[in-house]
Amino acid sequence: MATRDEIVASIRKAFPEGVRLLDGGDLPTFVVDRAELLRLARHLKDDPGLDFKLLADVCGADYAGREERFEAVYHLYSVTHGHRIRLKVPVREDDPVLPSVYGVWRAADWFEREAFDMFGLRFDGHPNLKRILCHPAFVGHPLRKDYEPGQRWLLREGEQDEPVWARQPHEDDDHFETQVINLGPSHPATHGTLRTVVRLDGEIITQAEVEIGYLHRCFEKMAERHTWKQVIPYTDRLNYCSPMINGVGYCLAVEKLAGIEAPPRAQLIRLILSELSRIMDHIVCIGANLNDLGAMTPFLYMYKAREEIYSILEACAGGRLTISYVRVGGLANDVPGDFVEAVRWILRRVPPLMNDMEKLITRNRIFRDRTEGVGVIAGAEALDWGWTGPCLRASGIPYDVRKAQPYLGYETFDFKVPIATTGDTFARYIVRVEEVRQSLHIIEQALERLQPGPIICDEHHVALPPKEQVYTEMEALIWHFKLIMEGARIPAGEVYGFTEGANGELGYYIVSDGGGKPYRIKVRPPCFAIFQAYPHMLVGHMVSDSVAILGSFNVIAGELDR
């Protein structure tokens, strides 16, 4: 791992001009002149000492009032060295154009489209720069600060977006007419709301395009309108298969910014429930994938475990799915007295169900024939697309945030990172199965360490004081009042918080202006990056394979579209 100074020195040396280092911050942050962006991007990617192969996130930000109103923000990560940097490219409102880095990292594809959609930043050289989340009849750029959050535009039947090529008749080499087929957005195998348009030559897909945004619920705009605490229920609804992990990621990022830390017991409970959520998520992913391939039974068996994990979450937090359990600085409540026994019960419960499922599936020839060699992606290519998580690990790159940059004390636990080298749909399945086992192992160790203690820190400028103090002490009541009416004051600054979500690196880029509400929150959803490779991977496969591939990505629309 290169230290911060080494990174800075190396970049300074190559770029004496056009690149300016900002002081402080959680990551080395450079303000880059847009004329230098492409050259710098190549350098960052190709220089072996820097080796930023993963473009984690690209987003826009609006600083109304500044001369250079908009900013494009890039987050980079080096899987080999384990370091990160942030780049910022300011542009003026009357000329919001900057070069696209799609030629350097393909991961920029959808991220840049999103920045265009949300802020109107134009990326020169992007192959397909059009709206991605909002519908085509939408007017304006919603994340600009002057956009009214409630301003809706109606989309009428017939105005939906069509890929340009889908409208043109096309003949293949043998002069047979090819067909354009539309899958989704309401289709049993699309898991919610995605739409794929494919061109078929016989049964083989020759061209594909994906449309997303059918579940764009304006999380980021809503977050700007609510206090830091009120954002928590919104985060639950990002990846709704594993809500706990989102909340943990958000609160860790805010805590980083506020410079506070949750007490050890809270950390441990967060960890246990995160791992339980990961299991739940993998259960749904595997189950739904199998279901799409025609194997209903395993889903029915495994869902039992999921329902029982719900029981635990509900007893801890009060909600089954959208639990809103994490708070900035700790947790909402302490866990019930019989928490440990209940989790142990789950630990005993899951393995037999997993075994049953494996007996049905893993050695089943039909399943293997349908998944092996389908949707193959090589590690380097996957990284170029911005993949993380189980899907990347199935292609042989052992990047796991829990190991690479541990949080919540993951470094003290004994677990292994499952990888596979084939990078196909079967590999993604088998990696998930093994991850469930590893999660069980982590939980087992964590339960041993659970000690009584406080569950929320006593920094009352961010965390609500306990109720009994509110009723009895004046000072606590004043804090309580201020926190509810104005929101917690989080110091001005920016932070990129990252955790290992069930699908990969879940990042929160948070900007605070010191007020009671976030100035900007950008979520880096893992499946957004994964899914953008999908249309490219489809080419050469059959339609039935597309279902298998899609299922193995575990695309969660709530997180994808936010």
Partner 1 sequence: MSSTPEVIVCDPKPMGLLQRLYVIEVLKGLGVTLRHFLGNVFRRTYTVTVEWPEVKREYSERLRGRHILVAREDGSPRCVACYMCEEACPADCIYIEAEERDSDSVEFEKRPKVFEIDLLRCVYCGFCVDACPKEAIIMSRVHEMTFTTRDESVAGLDVLLQKKPLRKEDMGYRPYYGKPHSHIELPIPVKPGGLLG
Partner 2 sequence: MTSRDLSISPGGGSEERAAARRPDGSQVFLTTKLDALLDMARRNSLWPFPFGTACCAIEFMSVMMSHYDLSRFGAEVVRFSPRQSDLLIVAGTVTDKMAPVLVRIYEQMAEPKYVISMGACACTGGFYRAYHVVQGIDEFIPVDVYVPGCPPTPEALLKGVVHLQEMIGKGETHYQRQLAAARAAARGGADGNA
What residues make contact with partner 2 under the rule CB under 8 A? 133-135, 138, 142, 147-157, 159-160, 185-188, 192-193, 213-218, 221-222, 233-234, 236-237, 240-241, 284, 299-300, 303-304, 306-307, 310, 320-322, 557-558
Closest distance between partner 2 and the C-beta of residue 236, in Å? Answer: 8
Residue type, 406: P
Q: What residues numbered 305-334 form the site for ligand SF4, per CB under 6 A?
A: 322
Binding partner of 324, given ligand SF4, partner 1, partner 2, none, CB within 5-8 angstroms per partner class? partner 1
389-405 in b/e burial notation, b at 16+ Cβ within 10 A?
bbbbbbbbbebbbbebb
Taking the C-alpha atoms of residue 483 and residue 471, their distance in angstroms, rounded to an integer, is 15
Which residue from 57, 71, 220, 434 is in contact with partner 1, where contact means CB under 8 A?
Answer: 434
Instruction: State which residue, 10 or 230, has the beta carbon closest to ligand SF4.
Output: 230
Among 34, 144, 368, 536, indicate the residue that binds partner 1 (CB under 8 A): 368
Radius of gyration for the chain, computed over Cα atoms and rounded to the nearest angstrom: 24
Angle at 283 between CA 305 and CA 336, to 5 degrees: 45
H or E stretch including 287? helix 264-292
284 binds, among ligand SF4, partner 2, partner 1, none (CB under 5 to 8 A by kind): partner 2
Binding to partner 1 in span 244-283, by CB under 8 A? none
Among positions 236-265, residues that touch ligand SF4 (CB under 6 A) are 237
Map the footprint of partner 1 across residues 341-360, applying CB under 8 A. Answer: 341-342, 345-346, 349, 356, 359-360
Q: CB under 5 to 8 A by kind: which of partner 1, partner 2, ligand SF4, none does 560 bind? A: none
Judged by CB under 8 A, the residue of 317, 408, 442, 446 near partner 1 is 317
Which residue has 């190549």 as its token pair?
A: 42
Instruction: Tell me if 302 sits within 8 A of 309, measured CB to CB.
Output: no
Q: Give the span between the Cα atoms of 368 and 364, in whole angstroms.
A: 6
Cα gap 273→316, rounded to integer Å? 10
Query: Is the CB of residue 119 less than 8 Å from the CB of residue 132?
Result: no
Q: How far is the CB of 426 from partner 1 (least distance, A)?
A: 6
By the rule CB under 8 A, 318 interacts with partner 1: yes
State the binding partner of 407 from partner 1, ligand SF4, partner 2, none, CB within 5 to 8 A by kind.
Answer: none
With CB under 5 to 8 Å by kind, the binding choice for 149 among partner 1, ligand SF4, partner 2, none is: partner 2
Q: Which amino acid is at 288?
A: A
Mask of contacts with partner 1, 33-72, x by CB under 8 A?
----------------------------------------
Q: How far is the CB of 306 from partner 2 (least distance, A)?
A: 8
Question: Of 78, 74, 81, which is closest to residue 40 (Cα–Cα)?
Answer: 74
Q: Which does 458 bind (CB under 5 to 8 A by kind): partner 2, partner 1, ligand SF4, none?
A: none
- Please say whether the beta carbons of 206 and 237 come within 8 A: no
Nearest to 119 by CA among 105, 107, 129, 106: 129
> Residue 562, interface with ligand SF4 (CB under 6 A)?
no
d(CA 531, CA 380): 16
Dist CA 536 CA 540 (whole Å): 9
Task: Please give the biggest Cα pair distance in the chain.
Answer: 84
Which residues of this protein are in contact with ligand SF4, per CB under 6 A? 237, 322
